[in-house]
Structures are given as C-alpha cells and as structure tokens.
Structure 1
Amino acid sequence: MEVLRERYLELLESAKGKTDLVKVITGMRRSGKTTLMRQFRDTLGDSDNVIYLDLDYIDEDMDWHSLKERIHGGFSGNDTHYVFIDEIQDVDGWERVVAEMIARGDCDVYITGSSSKMLSSELATKISGRYTEIKLYPLSFKEYMGLYSGDRYVRFEEYLRYGSLPVIEPSRGSELCDNQLADVFNTVLVKDVLEHAGSRDVSKVVSVARFIFSNIGNVTNVDNISKSLGLGYPTVQRFVDEMLSAHLFEYCERYDIVGKRILQSKSKYYATDVGMCRVMMRGVGTPDISRPLENIVFIELRRRYPIVRVGSYRDYEVDFTVSDDRGTEYYQVSLSMMSETTRDRELRPLKKVDDNFRKTVLTLDRFGLGSYDGIDVVNVIDWLLE
C-alpha cells in the first residue's frame, strides 16, 4: 500500500522541464524518497526518454565513470531526457555527472540522497546553486489517514506509537514494527552517520543518539551532551552534525521574541520519527506521550512553514513560533486544557506576547475548545488533518 505524496508531487511538477535546475529530494532513509520519485516518474507515462537508476540495488561498485556510462546508454532521440537517480550520494564523483547533464541542456534531472551534506559541498560547488531542494518528511497524519482508513483517534494512537515511516504497517503487529524501526535506525547510524563521521565506534554514537532521544523537547546542546556522557566535545559535535545531516533529528533554534534574535545556546532537538524514538528508548523511564505529541506538532510545522523556532518571551516559553510570507504565528502544545491550572499555565505565555499575530493551543481535548481572550484552543488531531 502507498499514498500519493500530493504536496511533494506538486512541487516536482512545478519544476518539471527546467533543464537548468536539478531537483534534489532529501530525507531520512525509508521516509519515502524512492516512492515519491517513482510516483512522479509515472506521471510522465511510457517514454523512451525516461532513465531511472536506483543505486541502492545495483551490485557493482560504481564510480562517476560507470554512472555516466549507464546514463548515456539510456539516451535515445533528441527530445528532453528525464533522468532519475536514487541514493546518488554513495557514488564518488557523482556531482561531475550531474553538472555535465545540466550543461547539456537536454536533461531534466531528479536525484535523491539521505545526507544533506550533498547540498552544502559537492553539488553546490559544481553547479553553482542550480538546484532546488525538496525536503521529504515521513508521512503526515493526513497522509497516514489516507493510507489507513478508520477512526482518527485510534489511528492517532498508532501514529504516536509506531511513527510515520511509510514502511511501517501497524497491522503487522508490534514485534515486526519495532524490529523494522530498529533496523532503520541501525542502517541510518551505520551508512549515514558512522561512515561519514569516519568512525567505527558504534557504542559512542548510539549513546549520543539515545541522549538526544531522551531529551526531545528539552533545551540542550553539544556541550551538555559531552559532559553528561563523558565524551570529548569534538567527537560529540561530529556525531551530532552527521545525525542532523542524515535527518535522524531536526534542530530547532530558540528565538527571543522581544529582542528579535537567535539564542544559540538554548536550542532543542526533535526526532524525525517518534516511533523510532520510542523503540530506541524502550526500558528507559516511564511512558509519556506529551513529548511525542510535541514532536509530532514540530515536524508538522516544519512541513507547513519555512521557519520554526522555540519562542522565548522574557521569562516565558512559547513552544513554537513560526513564520512565512504571511506573517508570524505562535503555538503551544498541551495534552489537556481541562483543568484551570493547566489552562492558565498554557495561556499565560501567549497572553504575554503583545502583538496581533495568531496564537493557538493544540490539545488532545475534544471538549472545551474555542477562543480564550483571542487565543484559539484547537484539537490537535483536527489541526493535523486540516
């Protein structure tokens, strides 16, 4: 089973035919990059001018020479050639081939990769910014409901537990799902973190990952991780950088709403997939859905807005402040707003922010919703399905 990733397909469609622009789909392994590329390829219909290579399933050791030969062997006719290359980052010198195809002027190029570093180094240098990145996240809850019909509240419990990777099918049972999640984590760690970090120390990198998983939603930084684990700062910094590049985690800056500046030392990390986080933290602490809920909201905001930050207003914290060309919005996340004490606590920071931008509290409550002094209290599941 699969669901059409309509938002991403629309982005790809808008760039179709631009032979001077490489379309780069990035995202964590198993988040659906291959499926998205195939779905878009299928919109082109039957054509001899479509070349598709999935480098994860090619046995031979491939360098840029053999990659070039494979691609050129598929060219036919004088029309535009549509070239799709999946997981290209493992081919040494791949950027030369991409640059050459752009220079030809008759190739519409689409590539995927599991490391964001491919954009900050080789590709950026070779083609001087002639690319557009489409960052693919795992399934949104709206996409999840398109894949699995049924009661939205039952499905949301699954979504909280098993996460949003398309390869995970809850109906297969918890044992298989948990094993798959652990396998994806191990693959990302080995292929996209350790190899790129030039290290073989699995225990150290796992300890860093588990520390971040256990502190989702908490203010932390590399120095805290280093001191807590007794590991050298450079080692932790290298591992964290590679985990962010592999899209295992997302970094969220802290923003001073009053001073309008970034507070570099007081930022947070969130997991790209909450199911993987749960599996890797089994047996540690007690079950708590408030952090996974906050994590899910953060990733959804990242899907919807180009800028998402933790908000700081004097001595108060706003869970998230978001911005785009329409303006700014503020969000709080709370499991429940039913008690007066909790309601006052969650509303207070938003009341303190003295501007006219929209302010919203997202909660699992199904009752007591509405507007409180201009602050909207909204059921989070309804919001996710907007």
Structure 2
Amino acid sequence: MKLIERPTYLSEMMELADTPDIKVITGVRRSGKSKLMEALARKLLEQQSNANIIHINYNLTDYENIAEYHALEAYVEERYEADRQNYLLIDEVQMCESFEKAINSLHARERYSIFVTGSNAFLQSSDLATLFVGRTYEIPVYPFSFSEYLLYYPSENVYGSLTSYITDGGMAGSYLYKTEEQKRRYINSEVLNALVVRDIVTKYRLKNERLLHALIDYLADNVGNLTSLRTIASTLEANGMKADHKTIGKYIDSLCKAFAFYRIRRYDIRGKKYLKSEDKYYLVDQSFRFARLGTKNMDYGRVLENIVAMELLRRGYEVYVGVLYKKEIDFVAIKQGAKLYIQVANDISEERTFEREVTPLLAIKDAYPKMLIARTYQPEYQHEGIRIIDAADWLRTSIPQK
C-alpha cells in the first residue's frame, strides 16, 4: 500500500514526545492510527539516535503472550534502559486485559514517554480521565483530508479530484480496490460492520443490532439535516421498527463515541447561547454514506457540507450550527475566542441560489469573517465583505492549525 506522510499529526506527536502526559491517539477504525505510530517510531530514531523505543502492536500474534497487564508491565520493564530516553508505543492497547493498570503503573514510574492507540469504542475521549490516573493528552486522528488525498493521488486538476474525493472519501484502505463496488464493500463490511458495529455492540452490550444499523442508515441519509430523537423514532416506527427516543439516544451516543458520527449543536448568534433542541450529525467520512446508501439519492450539497464540517474539526475548531432570526448559518467555527461564519453550497451559479446562501451571512452584524464555500471553479472573490471561495481551493490551501 502506498504511504504518505501526515505532517500535521506527526509534528504534533513529536512536539509532545518528551512531555509527561499519556498521549492517546483516538479516531475511527482504519483511519491510520497504527501507521502514524510506525512513522513516529521512525522519526524518533532519526532525531534521537540513542532513543530506546519499545513498540508493541497487539494486532500481531508476537504479543499475544503479554495480553494481561502484569505480563505487559513486566515485558516493558525488562526492556527499559536507564541511560537512554525510553519511549513506549502501544497499538490496540485494549487487547491487553486491564491495560489501564499497566499503563498507570508505568506512567507513575516516570521512566517512559507513553503513546497508545486503541479501539474507538474501548478508548474514548470521555473515558480517558477515568481510565488513566495520570494526565492524558488526546490526539484525534481523522481519515484522509482532501489535501492528503491529493498527496496520494497527485493531479493538476484539483476540481476533478474533489469530485473523486466526494465519493472515494478518506478511508485509505479502500484505495487498494479497483472498482466502486469493491470499495463500498470494504467500507461497509470491513470497517463499519466488522469493526465499528462489532466494537459498539461488545462495549455497550447492545441487544438490538438491527436498530443500530437502521440508525446508521438514517443518519447517513440525513447528514446536514436538523434531527430530533422523536422524529427518528416516528420515522422508524413508520418503517415497522419501534424504539423509544431514550433508546435511540443511547444508540446514537454510542455511534458518536465510536467516532463514526459527530454531533454538532446549534448556536444562537444573536443571543450568544447554545440551543438544546435539534442537532445535526455528520459522518466521520462521506464514503460511509455511499457504502450504505449508494449514489442513487445523491445530494452533493449535503455531502460537501459534511466534508467541510470534518475539515473544520481537523483544523481544531469548535463547530456549531448558527441560528439568527430563524435563519440558519451552516457553521459557526470558533477557535481561541475568534469566530468564523461559513455557508456551504455545491452550485451557486444561479442568482437565486447565491442570494439564498449569502443573505444569512449579510444579516450578521459583528466583525468576524464570513465565507461562502462552493464549487465555483474560479479564483476567490469578495461579495460585500464575504469571501467566496471554491471548495477544492479552500480544502487544499488552508493550512491546518492546532
């Protein structure tokens, strides 16, 4: 498989390499966490010739005899070298029984710089403080961005590349398959069903796997739409599947904790407060939608909105859906107190569509920047202070920031 360097993640990991925190690499299955760990090991050796790297990958049978926390700690301690900088890198740490006990003990010894990856369902953001007594630092990893896709598939026609990326997505494992059917089968069978769903069912002991699949399909079909649990319950009941809104909420929460979906809350721009009713859900990667639903009911605008949502999260923004005078702004992106207002559309060539998209932005009276991202196929321009920028250009040229 062709490998590309992911400098944004790798540089952050190197910056953290000598901090005392337990560095936890999180993200959906098959998003490249293990490959990043391998790249980190190589980079550490390049920059520190005397580094002692203890790298354990529980995907390999080589380590099945240390799949219990006493054995893991003993294995690591045997390989400690007092006169060198010791780095401990563990992939799929949840495959070691009571792994947190070994990690906490090793961390308390203050001998190792520790990095771990794990199953998305067993090593979640919300669990880190409970699992690990020591300080933790989370490094969220996402599937390939469009800029990374261009590194994998170099092209001078970035606009055409975006068309391909919209359906291919960023799950790099699918790039090895030749046909669209093979790619979708890989995403659906090998990633969603075999890994994400299996992890969730095991972790939360969910009894109704059929409901879980129905919710995946519903949320995938409704990316970018405001969603309430009661509406979902009514829709499922109309299709012959009964489930109360509390159960639906629990199952959706499990999908979000597994990094398959991301919940985006609503933000009242005028009142400067968060709204509780109705949220939006976005897929971690748009290829999941096509793997489940195909391209028959293609909605390029919604899919492009999904891509922009995930890109904002990659770049370290807090992301909300904006509400102003009963009108919706696709995204309010906040970082270090500064805001960015964004509308997303596939095609704004018709004047009526263009006016519909810019009107909510023009109604915002504060001085924070405003942007309309669309497939314009032309250089960026301004409209009454609003940046109008082509989606491919924005996705590939804006520098990710942490």
Given the two structures, how large is their TM-score scaled by the length of structure 1?
Answer: 0.93
Mean alpha-carbon deviation: is it higher for 302-311 or for 32-41? 302-311
- Tell me the residue number matched to 2:169: 163
User: Where does residue 38 of structure 1 map in the other structure?
Assistant: 38
2:300 paired with 1:300: no
Point out the more displaced range, 244-253 or 75-84.
75-84
Question: In the alignment, what sits opposite 1:201?
Answer: 208
For 2:283 and 2:125, how far apart are their aligned partners in 1?
Answer: 22
Q: CA deviation at 1:369?
A: 4.8
Show CA shifts across 1:120-153 (max 9, x none).
5654135446111000011111111111112212
Could you say what secondary structure the match of 2:195 adopts? helix
Structure 2: runs of 5+ lacking an equivalent: 237-241, 398-402
Cα distance in 1 for partners of 2:385, 2:330 equals 18
Distance 1:368 1:74, change over 3 A: closer
Structure-1 residue corresponding to 2:147:
142
1:43-96 per-position Cα deviation (integer Å, ceiling 9, x unaligned): 122667211111123355822223223323333344232100112134332111
1:178 to 176, 184, 194: 184
Secondary structure class of the residue paired with 2:194: helix
Residue type of the alignment partner of 2:143? P
State whether structure 2 residue 253 is matched by structure 1 residue 241. Answer: yes
- Conserved 8 A contact 2:29-2:196: no
Cα distance between partner residues in 2 of 1:122 and 1:67: 21
CA distance, structure 2, for counterparts of residue 383 and residue 180 of structure 1? 29
Amino acid aligned to 1:14: E
Residues 146-169 of structure 1 deviation map (CA, whole Å, 9 limit, x = unaligned): 111122122212211111012121
Inter-partner Cα distance in structure 1 for 2:323 and 2:27:
29
Quick check: 1:71 aligned with 2:76?
A: yes
| Letter aligned with residue 213 of structure 1 | A
Q: Which amino acid aligns with 1:154?
A: G
Separation in 1 of the partners of 2:50 and 2:385?
55
Matched, 1:124 2:129: yes
Closer, same or farther in 2 for the Cα pair 1:56/1:147, shift >3 Å? same
Q: 3-state DSSP class of the match of 2:174?
A: coil
Tell me how large the CA RMSD over aligned residues is: 2.1
Partner of 1:189: 196
Counterparts of 2:386 and 2:137, CA distance in 1 = 37
For residue 118 of structure 2, what is the aligned residue in structure 1?
113
Q: Is the CA contact 2:124–2:258 (under 8 Å) kept in the aligned structure 1? A: no
Given that residues 51 and 84 in structure 2 are in contact (C-alpha distance below 8 angstroms), is that contact kept between their aligned partners in structure 1?
Answer: no
Partner secondary structure for residue 169 of structure 1: helix
Question: 1:335 — aligned with what?
Answer: 346
Match of 2:400 in 1: none
Report what 1:22 is aligned to.
Answer: 22
Given residue 141 of structure 1, which amino acid in structure 2 is its aligned partner?
F
Deviation at residue 14 of structure 1 after TM alignment: 1.1
Task: Give the Å deviation of 1:233.
Answer: 2.8
Query: Mean Cα displacement is larger for which, 358-367 or 345-354?
Result: 358-367
For 2:246, the aligned partner's letter is: P
Question: Hey, what's the Cα distance between the residues in 2 that align with 1:227 and 1:142?
Answer: 40
Structure 1: runs of 5+ lacking an equivalent: none
- In structure 1, what is the Cα distance between the partners aligned to 2:275 and 2:252? 19
* Residue type at the aligned position of 1:238: K
Q: Distance in 2 between matches of 1:296 and 1:370?
A: 22
Q: 1:122 to 1:302 in 2, by over 3 A?
A: closer
- 2:54 corresponds to which of 39, 51, 59: 51
Q: Name whichever of 103-112 and 298-307 sits farther off.
A: 298-307
Q: Give the Cα–Cα distance (whole angstroms) in 1 for the partners of residues 253 and 321 of structure 2.
A: 20
The TM-score normalised by the length of structure 2 is 0.90
Contact kept in structure 2, 1:188 and 1:246, CA below 8 Å: no
SS state at 2:172 partner = coil
Show the counterpart of 2:278: 266
1:160/1:292 contact within 8 Å kept:
yes
Aligned to 2:14: 13
> Match of 1:371?
382
Identity across the alignment (%): 29
Supply the distance in 2 between the matched residues of 1:220 and 1:264 (Cα, whole angstroms).
12
Corresponding residue to 1:88 among 86, 93, 108: 93
